[in-house]
Chain A
Amino acid sequence: MNGQVQNLSIGPERISQESLLFAALERLARIREGRTAVRLHLSRLRPQNRREGYLRIVLRLLEPMVNAYGGQIFLLDDSDMVFLLRDARRTDVETMIAKLRSFFSRDPLIFADENDGVDRFCSRYDLAGDDYKTLLETARQDEERIRQRGRARGAAAAQQRTPLGTRELSQLLDGLEKTEVAKLIRRRWSIVVTARSTTEVFAQEFSINTDGLQKLLGRPIDFSGNSWLIKHLNTILGGSVLSILASVPFKPMPSAFLFDLNLYEGLSDSLARFERHLNGRAEMMIEFHILDVLADSGAYYTIRDKMQESGYKVIIEGLDILTTQCIEIAQFGADYYKLGWNPEMRENEIGAIQAAIDPEQLILEGCESESAIQWGLAHGINRFQGTYVAALLSAYAKAEAGGAACSLAECIAARSVVAGPLRERYAGQGWLDAAPVIRAGKSGDRKGAPS
């Protein structure tokens, strides 16, 4: 690493990059001629686009140019980067910025600029002029803020989540043996808006809630980083959901069960047993993740065909804007596809998805507000899942039962579990498992709906 580039290691450090930047700018006070600075507003990117690995790459890309112009780079605490240059050729700097923009071209920050020409990605400073004062002042404020926060940092560090590693997973699985898995099962409701303008329950999905698993370790775990270990965990847990559900006394019985299974579970004893338990009383839907399908596509075709012949519906989950752009979706030959709701989805993106899959086959998941549903309906999608859906159904179920003696929040929570104190407290209540049919058009019907 070149000595001219300051302290590029990522992680905790004694002297903050903010104070180093402020000191460097102060030193420049009398020799500002020919000096320029650029601040890359990486903090404005989506969190997944400013991960440590990405920042490392940006530093690597910048390094040669910054060295060539006798400059320095500072990686600030909020992921922003500032680099100082001496007598730099403007075209070199602009070429570099254009390259970096292309690396982040999938972030909304970059495509927001396409509309109005405002550069939200970076700010440029000519340090020979008045820009110097502006940058110095910003640097002073940053330095001050970090110094203040440094004192509170010790406490914050203790709260940091441990990334899920093999050791943590091993401890989790040990803990699972002692715990009641039934309490970790969550029910997720999905709805369909029918041609008759009614909104009905489409399916009730039952799966393990990983947040609940954290309690087993007694410390917060970050489940977001390691997809392989989570896949392994789900493989272990999937089968137990089926056997537990067979003994849950639903009133009424769900009209359609949805399970998120690993591929081979599609041929398992637990599924066959559950099927016998249902004895045709409810529809069965099985959801497979695209990664499972890719890992053993031959088995997928066999299992999908078998399930469809047995009258099951096969659902593919794990689709978002990027996957739909990068994979040949039509190959799945599934009945439905779950698409993650993303308010930043652009018209051309949903257009491409619509071209690949009939919107009637899409289930929009992660609907946290009515606007998600409005957006979906406007694009031909009529199946939805998410916290808003759960709240909507709970409100109607509660209203139909003549107003339950509990808050809506408690009602939603009780309807999302299959075991534990909450369900026990409200056992026998009509609204607990109710799947209300919502009819549009009558204004009174909207009364119980959450706003």
Chain B
Amino acid sequence: MIPPKGPGPVTAQQRAIAQRLAKGQESLLLDYLRKLENHRQGRRAVVVRLSALQAVNRRDHHVRMAAAGFEDVVRQLKGQIFILADSDLVLIFKETALDEVEAQIVKLRFMFDDDSFLAGEGAAGRPAFVDWFLLDRDYETLVLFAQRAVTEEQQRRESDSREPETERVQVPQMPKGDPLTPALLAKVEEHLANANLANMLRRQAICAIVGKASPQPVLYELFISIADLRQTLMPDTDLASSPWLFQQLTRTLDRRVLSLLNKHDDSTIAGDISINLNVETLLSQEFLNFDDNIKASERGSIVIELQKTDVFADLGAFLFARDFAHDRGYRICIDGADLESLPFISRDKLGVDFIKLVWSPEMIMGQFPDGSRLEDYVRRAGATRIMLCRCGEQAAIDYGQTLGITLFQGYHVEALRLADDQQKGKNGSDRWRERRSS
């Protein structure tokens, strides 16, 4: 179970950061263009409009990663890149690098495939994600573009230093409901103490996908639907407003889930399941009761998922609980790792069986924010020990497979299974019966 993302840095503030990162890049671009005035032949330019993407897709590391894609061209002295304050990229390059640049643009499109801007690209009156220029032909246009960028950037800087407060106040915030407060949480906890959450229990398959073969379920993750829970108990509350209070809520949920599993008949929880728990829960009487109900031979096929933050909040307790769980035969998976946090987490150092990695399109660039390679990480951790989750698109599976990953989870995986079942003339309930009887 992955907590909702916290209130990340907001648009206007990000812009401020980008401005500092890109200090004077507009002027540098203009200077560079002027130097090329007599060397236009055989040179092209491309403008990548990252500024048009949704805020979530143009955080600082997205911009850096996108720019890093052109690093080779720059290193081979075939081009020069400029990161403008609004996050747009401008690459001026020699024609000999055209293939490389085009390939990189394809990657970028892939990376931001899910962005609504790209989805609506090409519609009448909408700017393109990428604009190409021939310096020979479009030189004046480009110079005008750069001049305008310099002016806009100067105006922005001035207004920033004059009225920083005003700008911050105008930050657009999506109303997502009232913040979660301890008082509200206390009420919810009370309500949950004896609630039956059976109708909110969901299962999603974690599948092995090898090559083009259809997905083979190896585990079923059981979890409480947070959306349903919110809808039922606190419809006007923004659960993401405090990641810490949310984590506290999961402690209560753990107990409800375990009690649900204890009530179910044996076949429902017979093996092959993955459950999200807190470290504290593993040391509780409720977990021991759950353990009593599991046949020793089946513990090996049960995976316990622990949130990364929970693990590091009390490492002593985690190591103790891990040793106990391993002694009983359970397997442990670290949940909630994403491209940004993965480099902090070592499967080896934590002594766990699996790491669950949240898919994001920027993984296609193959590198972490610090520039180290995802491929190297996966090799060290063991490709078969990584589960790629939240796979909402085929790209996740395709890319995961290039890294050697075989375990996948997410809506797209569900869709593939459904399509496969339909092809074989089965429906979902048949499949479920099949599983229960096996």
Asked if A and B bind, the verdict is: yes
Answer yes or no: B248 CB below 8 A from chain A CBs: yes
Residues of A within 8 A of B13 (CB): 267
Q: Is the CB of A327 within 8 A of B186?
A: no
Stretch at the interface among B72-80, B120-128, B336-344, B424-432: B336-344
Stretch at the interface among B24-32, B138-146, B230-238, B317-325: B317-325
Stretch at the interface among B200-208, B345-353, B414-422: B345-353
Q: Is the CB of A169 within 8 A of B182?
A: yes
Stretch at the interface among B88-96, B150-158, B263-271, B279-287: B279-287
Q: Is the CB of A167 within 8 A of B309?
A: no
Residues of A within 8 A of B314 (CB): 227
Q: Is the CB of B9 within 8 A of A267?
A: yes
> Which residues of B in the span 1-58 have a Cβ within 8 Å of any Cβ on A?
3, 5-10, 13-14, 16-17, 20-21
Answer yes or no: A248 CB below 8 A from chain B CBs: no
Answer yes or no: A160 CB below 8 A from chain B CBs: no
Answer yes or no: B185 CB below 8 A from chain A CBs: yes
Given known A-B contacts A57-B283, A297-B341, A226 and B248 have beta carbons under 8 A apart: yes
- Bound complex: CA A297 to CA B60 (Å): 12
- Bound complex: CA A19 to CA B194 (Å): 37
Q: Is the CB of A102 within 8 A of B323?
A: yes
> Which residues of B in the span 245-303 have a Cβ within 8 Å of any Cβ on A?
245, 247-248, 251, 280, 283-285, 288, 291
**Closest chain A residue, CB of each to CB of B369:** A301
- Bound complex: CA A166 to CA B343 (Å): 33
Residues of A within 8 A of B168 (CB): 269, 272
Query: Which residue in A228, A272, A300, A302 is a CB contact (below 8 Å) of B17?
Result: A302
Question: Interface SS of chain A: helix, strand, loop or mixed?
Answer: helix
- Bound complex: CA A105 to CA B422 (Å): 53
- A40-55 to B contact mask, C-beta < 8 Å, 1/0: 0000000011011110
**Closest chain B residue, CB of each to CB of A290:** B312
Write the nearest CB–CB distance from B209 to chain A, whole angstroms.
27
Answer yes or no: A161 CB below 8 A from chain B CBs: no
Q: Is the CB of B9 within 8 A of A170?
A: no
- A267-294 to B contact mask, C-beta < 8 Å, 1/0: 1010010000000000000000011011
Q: Is the CB of B312 within 8 A of A56?
A: no
Query: Which residue in A165, A272, A302 is a CB contact (below 8 Å) of B186?
Result: A165
Q: Is the CB of B316 within 8 A of A298?
A: no
Kindly name the residue among A56, A165, A167, A298 whose own CB sees the greatest number of chain B CB atoms within 10 A. Answer: A298
Q: Is the CB of B340 within 8 A of A170?
A: no
Given known A-B contacts A57-B324, A302-B14, A327 and B283 have beta carbons under 8 A apart: no
Q: Is the CB of A54 within 8 A of B320?
A: yes
Interface size on B, residues (CB 8 A): 64
- A315-341 to B contact mask, C-beta < 8 Å, 1/0: 000000011011110011100000000
Q: Is the CB of B182 within 8 A of A232?
A: yes
**Closest chain B residue, CB of each to CB of A273:** B165
Residues of B within 8 A of A325 (CB): 349
- Bound complex: CA A295 to CA B340 (Å): 10
Interface size on A, residues (CB 8 A): 58
- Bound complex: CA A57 to CA B185 (Å): 29
- Bound complex: CA A103 to CA B326 (Å): 11
Q: Is the CB of B309 within 8 A of A294?
A: yes
Write the nearest CB–CB distance from B391 to chain A, whole angstroms.
19
Given known A-B contacts A53-B280, A302-B9, A309 and B243 have beta carbons under 8 A apart: no
Residues of B within 8 A of A227 (CB): 313-314
- Bound complex: CA A26 to CA B273 (Å): 49
Query: Which residue in A56, A102, A235, A331 is a CB contact (below 8 Å) of B244?
Result: A235
Given known A-B contacts A57-B283, A103-B324, A296-B8, A269 and B17 have beta carbons under 8 A apart: no
Write the nearest CB–CB distance from A305 to chain B, whole angstroms.
7
Given known A-B contacts A297-B340, A327-B349, A305 and B60 have beta carbons under 8 A apart: yes
Given known A-B contacts A293-B344, A302-B9, A327-B312, A170 and B182 have beta carbons under 8 A apart: yes
Answer yes or no: B225 CB below 8 A from chain A CBs: no
Answer yes or no: B104 CB below 8 A from chain A CBs: no
- Bound complex: CA A81 to CA B5 (Å): 44
16 contacts between A and B (CB under 8 A): A49-B316, A51-B283, A57-B320, A106-B316, A165-B186, A167-B182, A232-B248, A267-B9, A272-B168, A295-B243, A297-B338, A298-B369, A301-B369, A306-B16, A328-B345, A331-B343
Interface residues of B (CB under 8 A from A): 3, 5-10, 13-14, 16-17, 20-21, 59-61, 164-165, 168, 181-183, 185-186, 189, 242-245, 247-248, 251, 280, 283-285, 288, 291, 308-309, 312-317, 319-321, 323-324, 327, 338-341, 343-346, 349-350, 369-370
Interface residues of A (CB under 8 A from B): 48-49, 51-54, 56-57, 60-61, 99, 102-103, 106, 165-167, 169-170, 173, 226-229, 231-232, 235, 263-264, 267, 269, 272, 290-291, 293-303, 305-306, 309-310, 322-323, 325-328, 331-333
Closest 5 CB pairs of A and B: A53-B283, A297-B340, A297-B341, A170-B182, A166-B186
